[in-house]
Chains A and B, each alone.
Chain A
Amino acid sequence: MARLAVRRWLDQERTLAWLLVGPLVLLLLGLVAYPFGVAVQFALSDRTLAEPGRFVGLANVWNLWDNQIYRQTLGNTIVYTIGATILKLGAGLGLALVLNEQLPLKRLVRSAILLPWIVPTVLSAMAWLWLLTPNFSVLNWILVHSGLSQRGLPWLTSPPLAMFSVILVNTWRGIPFFAITLLAGLQTIPGELYEASAIDGAGTWRRFRYVTLPLLQPILLITLVLSVIWTFSDFQVVYGLTQGGPMNSTHVLATLSYQVGLASGNIGEGAAISLTMLPLLLILIVWQIRHLRRGVAG
C-alpha cells in the first residue's frame, strides 16, 4: 500500500515537476545566488587577500567614482562595447546576406567562418598578439613591404591603436555569431515576399529596407542585446592582448576587477568594480527576458 501511495505521489504533476527542476534550482541558488550575495558583501567591505576586512558601506563605490583609472576604464568599456558591436553587426549582417545567396561550397564556407567563434578565445588572441606584436608584426611587414608605411604602426603600444586592436580582435571573434544567427533569420523569410516586391518594382535596396530589415528585426535585436552583454563583460580578448595596457588605455571593467581584486588582492574594491557592471546588465537582461521568456516558461 505504501509503495502505491509513493508511486501515486510521485506521479502528481506538481511533485514530479519539482523533483525534475529541484537539482537545477539548488545549483543555481548555491553557486549563482549565494556567490552573488557574497560579491555584494565583499563590495561593501575593505576585504583584502590578507585581511577579512570590515563593513564600509558604499565607500568603495564613492572611491571608485573619484578614481581616475576607474573612470578611464568605464570610458574604455563603453568605447569597446559600442565600437565592437557596431563592427560585428555591420560585418555580420553583410556576411549573412552574402551567405544567403546561391554559392558553391556553401556548407563548407558556412562551417569555416564559425571557426573564430568555436576555438578558445585566449588561444586565438595569442595568434593575434603575434600578428600585431611590435618587432615581428606581420601586418607591419606587409605595410612596409608594400610601401604604405615606413616603419609600421605601434598596434599595441600606442593607446588609441591598442584600443583599435582589441576592438578588432573582439569583432573578429564575434562576426561568426552575428552572421550565423542572422543567416538563420534570413532563411525564415519567405521567398515570395521578395518576388512580390520585385514585381512591384522594388530594387535591391528597397527590398532590403522594406522586406528584409522589418522581418529580421526581432532576431536582430535579440542577437544585438546578447552581444552587447557579452562584449560589455568581456575579459579574454583584453587579458590576452594587452592586459589593460598601455597605461590602462585598454582596461575594461572585467580586467580591472581581476587586476585590483585578485592580482593586487583588494578583494572588496575588485568586487565593487565588477558589480558596477550590474546596472547596465540588469537593463539589458530585463529587456532580453521579455523577448526570450516565451521560449522557456511559455
Chain B
Amino acid sequence: MLFVYVPLAFALVFLLGPFYWMVITALKPNSELYNAERSPLYVAAPTLDHFVFLFTKTAFIEWTKNTMIVATGATAVALLLGVPAGYALARFRFRGAGLVGTGVVVTYLVPTSLLFIPMVQVMSTIGLVDSYWALVVVYPTFLAPFVTWLMAGYFRTIPAELEECARIDGASRLGALWRIAIPLARPGIVSAGIFAFTLSWNEFIYALTLVTASSERTIPVGVLVQLTRADFYFWGPLMAGALAGSIPVALIYSFFVDQYAAGLTAGAVKG
C-alpha cells in the first residue's frame, strides 16, 4: 500500500499544486503578494480586488463572450462536418474511401504550428483576419478530422441491422441515418462535442496570430497579452484571469468526465 499511496500523494501535489497557487495568488492583496517576508503558501487577508480589476479594467468579459462564440461555433461546424463523414466512412463502400480516411488521420496529426504562417495569409485573402470569426472557420480544420475519426469508430460499434430494418420498411439511406443512427450515436456525439469545445476554448497559436484586435481576442490570448507587458506582470489579475478562464472548461469537464475520458482514450484504445 505504501507503493500506492506515497507516489499518488506526490502525483497529486505536483499535478494540482499549481492550481492551489493560482487560487492563493488571485485572492492575495498586493501588500502580501510582493512582501518577500510573508509565506507565499497561504493568504492572510483574502480579497477580490484582482477579480474586480479583471472584470472592470480589462476586456475580460468581452474575451469570455468571444471565446464562447468561437468554441460553440467551431464545435457546431466540426460536428456538422464530422458526424456525417464519420458515418459514411463507417458504413459505405465508395471509391476514395481509403484516401479520405487517410486524409482525415493525417490532418488530425498535422500540428497547427506547421500551418499558422500561411493561415494568416489565407485568412487575410478571404477578409477574415482580425475577427474571431476567422477562428470559427479555422478550428474545424483540426476539430472535424478528430470528430470524424471518433464517430467512425462509434458508428462501427452500432449494429447496422437496425438501419437495414428501417430500409426494408421503406426509409431512404439518409432517413435511416437521421432517424436511427444519429439518435443511437448520441453518447458518441456528446463525447466528440465536449472534446471539440475544450480544444477550441484552449487553442492558442491561431488565436494569437489570426486575431490581433484587442476586443476580438479569446481568453488565453487576451489574458496573456494584456496582463503582461514586456517584463512587467500584473500577477494578481493574471492569476485571477487564469483561474476565471479555466473555470468554464473545468466545469463542463466535471459534468462530462466519463464522456471526456472516453473521447481521450478512444483513439489509442480502439486503434
Contact = CB atoms under 8 A, between A and B. Distances in A.
A25 B97 CA distance: 11
A126 B261 contact: no
In the complex, which of the residues A115, A126, A292 has the most CB atoms of chain B within 10 Å of its own CB atom? A126
A42 B167 CA distance: 51
B176 to A, nearest CB: 10
Interface residues of A, number: 106
A27 B140 contact: yes
Contact of A119 (B118, B149, B249): B249
Nearest to B254: A111
Given A127-B239, A138-B40, A24 B110 contact: no
A14 to B, nearest CB: 5
Contacts of A229: 109, 111
Nearest to B122: A35
Interface in A81-106: 91, 94-95, 98-99, 101, 103
A254 interface: yes
Interface in B69-124: 80-82, 84-85, 87-90, 92-98, 100-107, 109-122
A154 interface: no
B92 A17 contact: yes
In the complex, which of the residues A35, A133, A177, A236 has the most CB atoms of chain B within 10 Å of its own CB atom? A35
A127 B25 CA distance: 9
Nearest to B218: A120
A38 to B, nearest CB: 4
Contacts of B133: none
A16 B174 contact: yes
A113 B12 contact: yes
A36 B118 contact: yes
A87 B81 CA distance: 37
B44 interface: no
A271 B118 CA distance: 8
A180 B265 contact: yes
Contacts of B270: 295
Nearest to A275: B114
Contact of A113 (B11, B21, B101, B267): B11
A214 interface: no
Given A120-B204, A120-B246, A277-B114, A25 B100 contact: yes
Nearest to B152: A296
Given A31-B138, A127-B19, A180-B261, A21 B100 contact: yes
B45 to A, nearest CB: 18
A214 B193 CA distance: 34
Contacts of A275: 114
A3 interface: no
Contacts of A32: 107, 110, 115, 141
A292 B15 contact: no
B48 interface: no
Contacts of A147: none
B168 interface: no
B92 A16 contact: yes
A95 B118 CA distance: 40
B137 A136 contact: no
A289 interface: yes
Contact of A17 (B97, B153, B250, B267): B97
A35 B115 contact: yes
In the complex, which of the residues B109, B152, B204 has the most CB atoms of chain A within 10 Å of its own CB atom? B109
Interface stretch (A54-62, A64-72, A218-226): A218-226
A295 B106 contact: no
B212 to A, nearest CB: 10
A120 B219 contact: yes
Contacts of B16: 112-113, 115
B55 interface: no
Contacts of A133: 233
A202 interface: no
A200 interface: no
Contacts of B145: 24, 28
B238 interface: yes
Nearest to B156: A298
In the complex, which of the residues B33, B36, B105, B268 has the most CB atoms of chain A within 10 Å of its own CB atom? B268
A120 B201 contact: yes
B129 interface: no
Contacts of B152: 295-297
B40 to A, nearest CB: 4
Interface string A22-62: 01110110011011101100100000000000000000000
A47 to B, nearest CB: 9
| A-B complex: 8 closest residue pairs judged by Cβ atoms | A297-B101, A233-B111, A254-B113, A38-B118, A119-B246, A20-B88, A17-B92, A123-B242
15 contacts: A28-B144, A109-B12, A118-B260, A133-B233, A136-B36, A177-B264, A219-B269, A222-B267, A222-B268, A277-B111, A277-B114, A292-B105, A295-B152, A296-B89, A298-B89
Given A226-B109, A295-B270, 18 more contacts: A13-B94, A31-B141, A32-B107, A98-B8, A114-B260, A118-B260, A123-B242, A127-B19, A180-B261, A188-B269, A254-B111, A258-B113, A277-B114, A292-B149, A296-B89, A297-B97, A297-B102, A298-B89
